[in-house]
Amino acid sequence: MSNDIVFKDLNDWIENSDMPNGKRKVLQAAIKLFSIQGFNGTSTSEIAKESGMSQATIFKYFKSKDDLLLAIITPIIERIIPTYGENFFNEFSTSSTSLKEMIHFAIFDRYSFMVNNKDAILILLSEVLVNPKVKDMIVSSLLVKINKFINIAWTSIKNTGEIRDDIDFIAFVRLAMGQLAFYFLQTQKFSNLNDKEQIEKDLDNIVQMVFRAVKK
């Protein structure tokens, strides 16, 4: 099983949820295999073998492998990631009174979180790129569940007095997270960069890029 904290919390949620035991075994097997082999690299026959259930049982609970993936992604988006988001925004809003230092905290902290939850994040990002339903689910869930924390964080950013008046929170997040998500995919999916010094240098460059784009 992946060491991802997100997947561990998801397994805990599944274990304690009210559902048929067969469905629970299928979900747990799918999480294990998706985290090791990826979604596209995993067949329903492999999930059946890992879970000890028949493929007929899998399709009894899930119409397709895509439905099974959504059953895994949905609680991650609606229940688990918002909790981490709340913690992050609380820390972010008190991290500094300097815009550049706040951006530095956000970029380095979120990259660390993404790497520590590499398998879960890769699945989510891969689906966001090709599945509008997942993208809309992530956006709407995060905005609704952590809206007050977003307001606190954005107030802290504006209170620095350094950010341009024409930049709103969505534009700020789109710029910062767009750069970070691309770099994460570059280092964790398309290559396997483990050079800590190089990663810190690259992240510093992202910080500089975002700061120059949003400062007055």
Residue ranges of domains in the chain: 5-61, 73-214
pLDDT tens-place string over residues 189-214: 888 778 899 999 999 999 999 999 99
Residues 93-112, mean pLDDT to the nearest whole number? 93
**Whole-number Å distance between alpha carbons of 76 and 5:** 11
- Per-residue pLDDT band at 89 (split at 50, 70, 90): confident
The torsion angles phi and psi of 100, rounded to 5 degrees, stand at -65, -40
Distance CA 99, CA 18 (A): 45
CA distance 182 to 178: 6
* 25-50 tens-digit pLDDT: 999 999 888 877 878 889 999 999 99
CATH of region 73-214: 1.10.357
Torsion of CA 205, 208, 209, 210, to 10 degrees: 120
Task: Identify the sign of the CA torsion 41, 65, 143, 92.
Answer: negative
**Domain 5-61 superfamily per CATH:** Homeodomain-like (1.10.10.60)
Q: State how far the alpha carbon of 167 is from the alpha carbons of 120, 143, 211, in Å.
A: 30, 18, 12
pTM exceeding 0.75: yes
Task: Retrieve residue 98's tokens.
Answer: 């300097």
Closest to 11 measured CA to CA, from 139, 45, 26, 165: 26
Residue 98 DSSP label: S
- In three-state secondary structure terms, 97 is coil
